[in-house]
Structure 1
Amino acid sequence: MDMHARPDTLLLAAGWWSGSGVARGALAIHRDRMAPAAWTTALRIDLRDHLVFPALVNAHDHLHVNAVPPLRTGAPFPNSYAWIDAFQAHFAEPSVVAALAQPKALRLRHGALKNLLAGTTCVVHHDPWHPSLDESDFPVALLRDFEWSYALAGPNYGPPVRASFAATPPQRPWMIHLAEGTDATARAELAELDRLGCLAANSVLVHGVGLAPRDVERVIAAGAAVVWCPGSNRALLGRTLDPRRLCHAGRLLLGSDSRLSGERDLLEELRLALDRYGLTPTQLLGLVTRDAARILRLAGRGRLSPGAHADLLVVEDRGGDPVRSLLGLARSDIRAVVRDGLPRIADPDFADWFAAFGIDTVPVTLDGRPKLIDRRLADDALLALEPGLAADAMAGARVLAAAGAHG
């Protein structure tokens, strides 16, 4: 690593995912954007034994409830409204009361950190906006230019459906939970949405488990899209939708939902979907990169071409199918997560990378593996909310001892 280079430009020698295969050579970052690999003076990092992928886009989460204990039940619910009704008694559980007593700003930040640890740097938060989401050091980027309603029925929560849709410019996404169930109520929701005049090319429907094949064709014909959350669907409803037709039509995204019902994170969703639903590894990766960026109008995300956001993840090249290898990883296997051109969490041997950009770090363990994390993301209260993440006191002691030995 050349430590005498300009600090605003980074040149990675790596294999990197081009969208259709692995390209090898120089991958350049200038400030917070990908750049042509033409810089003669740059901080150079040798990643020749690694692969670089675009960071992931999570198309559905409720960031502020990821530390709330889920409702345990032995039988699937017919629809999400029945689950919401059952959850009301769960609010009285001491563990739920304690989780919700945490400041909302902290809980939102925790949900964002959960995503970042798994290589996700952009998230759709399907809930009311909160001032803390605008903080300059918020862990992830968020979809901002969109409108939403919660659902057609159920709780009186969020903007009214017709008014929210009518207020949404056609170039912006409009999102709603829809057909989240297996019963007649869920199966009737697409027709009702269409009757209300709210099925259009910018409609993004979350879950869609109750969509019949003819409904899927109506979604595609309208130019709308569906956010698939298989982990959440299986946990609440006992099954999920068949994603193949929507995927082949380019009208499918992937979301993790929150841990109230979904898997731990988006990387876990990808790992569990691999070889299970008839989609290839490359199609699955597309759902959380280029397809998500296209459908959600996220210009400059989901790719590594010049001008794109410099959000990426670095993994070891283990040979074989690179995408399959990525989708089979645990979050602790990711070598580095980069957002806005800066490392945010990485393995300890990348300490010089942090230092070159003046980023103070804290040693932590992630699922038992040592990592370095940007100090701005390492508040004690925040670390305490995330299972598997903890400050590494022994690593800190080693650093202090080494500093004393050289003092």
Structure 2
Amino acid sequence: MSLYAVASDNGHNEQVVVHGVRYAEGPEESKCGSIEITAGYISRILRCSALSLEAKSDSIGIDLSGFLVMPGLINAHDHLEFALFPRLANPPYRNYIEWGEDIHEKFPDVIAKHRAVPKNLRVWWGGIRNLLCGATTVSHHNPLWPEMQRDDFPVRVVQQYSWAHSPALGGDLRAAHAATRESSPFIVHACEGVDELARKELWSLNRSGLLDARTVIVHGLAIDTAGVELMRKRRVSLIVCPSSNNFLFGELPDMALLGGLENVGLGNDSPLTAEGDLLDEIRFAMRSCGIESHTAYHMVTKFPAAILKLKDGEGTIKVSGVGDLIAIKDNGGNAADRLRTLSMTDVEFVMIKGCVQLASEVILERLSPHTKQGLEPLCIDGTIRWLRAPIKERLQKTKEALGTSEIYLGSRQVSTPV
């Protein structure tokens, strides 16, 4: 059973019409109208606020008047199995190897406690953590765990990719790269640090013949001007995770330099090192790295779609594109500028491939009984969201595994509403 099979029980094979909206055509462009989704893909957009699309009698209508609709966001880098972990470090470090060795020495009990939670539960919480902040597509860096291949997983996880951990810890990088299809990315951590080891990793990858249009470097903190020129020549893409870099190494990616690459995406890493969720990461990147709002918008929409070689129009709202939508209250501002202050509590609606995956209590009242089926409530630091996930069961099993009544996604406490 899949996310999209579950959706078929809830109207996915029927026509869905989202109406009364102002929707983002880009970071600064928006129009009013109605969006029709058929079989999970946008089939029509009527750019007129005064009219509604003519719908079939059995279609599902969703009134989102008063909301700004944006494309579902793309989290270009996450480790979904670490969603329940707290931030672990005693920084600063010189490179990622130092960090890994240090936390295993200083925090073995915390690590063992969280690893006692079955991985299938942990990755579910990783999916839920992304869903709550409007990330509908996520690139997981580690093996593709079976739970992530289930169609009822809370978010879409990129399925076609090859990966290695890093030049120092990645195993047989040449074999992993050689196994990568031309239509898929090869993703590897590199240059994650501030010392000579980190600086040399890009050149080591180049000598091994591992830099080409399929290659995606994650972090790249130590990349210099010559490294950027090499990446441009080899058509290598980059994903940055600024809050993790700042936490571990006390330095930020030089976006004035790295922004010269064709495609730079933004990743959220994991609660082990990141400031918070993807929206928290966006705000941090804009505030701390001087990233302009329209660039930040592209770094979680069209840039990662290109980097990860996504083919279904993810990160856009367009006819024939996949029906991934999120909605926030409309204050008249454009989508890019809203990112400056946007947080998880602002995301009131998430749809993935035409299926409602998240609704605030305000939106829930607008949904038909048919559309509400399968949604369960979750309280996150006092905010209630209804999610298409077995929340009560997952919470109970996680509490039993952790031996505690308090569950956190990063720094945010989650529970069932009283």
Q: Secondary structure at the match of 1:52?
A: strand
Q: Secondary structure at the match of 2:197?
A: helix
Percent identity between the two aligned chains: 29
Q: CA deviation at 1:390?
A: 1.8
Alignment equivalent of 2:34, drawn from 26, 32, 52: 26
Structure 2 partner of 1:58: 75
- Matching of residues 231-246 of structure 1 within 5 Å: 231-246=243-258
CA distance in 2, matches of 1:159, 1:125: 18
Alignment equivalent of 2:118, drawn from 77, 96, 103: 103
Counterparts in 2 of 1:367 and 1:329: CA distance versus 1, 3 Å: farther
CA distance in 1, matches of 2:368, 2:108: 44
Query: Deviation string for 1:35-81 (max 9, x for gaps)?
Result: 213543343333232110111111111111121233231x3100001
Query: Deviation string for 1:158-188 (max 9, x for gaps)?
Result: 5511111112122210011000010011111
CA distance in 1, matches of 2:351, 2:391: 13
Query: For structure 1, which segment, 248-257 or 222-231, has the greater mean C-alpha deviation from structure 2 after superposition?
Result: 248-257
Alignment equivalent of 1:118, drawn from 130, 133, 140: 133
Query: For structure 1, which segment, 101-110 or 15-24, has the greater mean C-alpha deviation from structure 2 after superposition?
Result: 15-24
Query: Deviation string for 1:272-326 (max 9, x for gaps)?
Result: 1224323221110111111111111111211111222211110011123432223
CA distance in 2, matches of 1:334, 1:221: 39
Structure 2 unaligned regions, length at least 5: 1-12, 46-52, 400-406
What is the identity, as a one-letter code, of the residue corresponding to 2:415? Answer: A
Q: CA deviation at 1:348?
A: 1.2
8 Å CA contact 2:191, 2:200 repeated in 1: yes
Query: Deviation string for 1:349-388 (max 9, x for gaps)?
Result: 2224262325233333222123322253443236945333
CA distance in 2, matches of 1:237, 1:55: 31
8 Å CA contact 1:71, 1:90 repeated in 2: no
Structure 1 partner of 2:403: none
Structure 1 partner of 2:370: 356
Counterparts in 2 of 1:319 and 1:116: CA distance versus 1, 3 Å: same
Q: CA deviation at 1:248?
A: 4.7
CA distance in 1, matches of 2:391, 2:14: 22
Structure 1 partner of 2:386: 372
Structure 2 partner of 1:323: 336
Query: Deviation string for 1:103-140 (max 9, x for gaps)?
Result: 01001111111111111111111112222222221111
Q: Secondary structure at the match of 1:353?
A: coil
Q: Secondary structure at the match of 1:180?
A: coil
Q: Which has the higher contact order (CA 8 A, sep 6+)?
A: 2
Name the TM-score, length of structure 1 as normaliser: 0.89
Name the TM-score, length of structure 2 as normaliser: 0.86
Structure 1 partner of 2:5: none
Counterparts in 2 of 1:168 and 1:281: CA distance versus 1, 3 Å: same
Structure 1 partner of 2:416: 391
What is the identity, as a one-letter code, of the residue corresponding to 1:17? Answer: A
- Matching of residues 1-400 of structure 1 within 5 Å: 7-19=14-26, 20-37=28-45, 39-41=54-56, 42-73=59-90, 75-93=91-109, 95-153=110-168, 155=169, 159-300=171-312, 301-351=314-364, 352-353=366-367, 355-357=369-371, 359-379=373-393, 380-381=395-396, 384-386=407-409, 387-393=412-418
Structure 1 unaligned regions, length at least 5: 1-5, 394-407
What is the identity, as a one-letter code, of the residue corresponding to 2:63? Answer: D
Query: For structure 1, which segment, 240-249 or 296-305, has the greater mean C-alpha deviation from structure 2 after superposition?
Result: 240-249
Q: Secondary structure at the match of 2:357?
A: strand
Moved over 6 A (4+): none
CA distance in 1, matches of 2:166, 2:233: 22
What is the identity, as a one-letter code, of the residue corresponding to 2:380? Answer: L
Structure 1 partner of 2:3: none
8 Å CA contact 1:234, 1:240 repeated in 2: yes
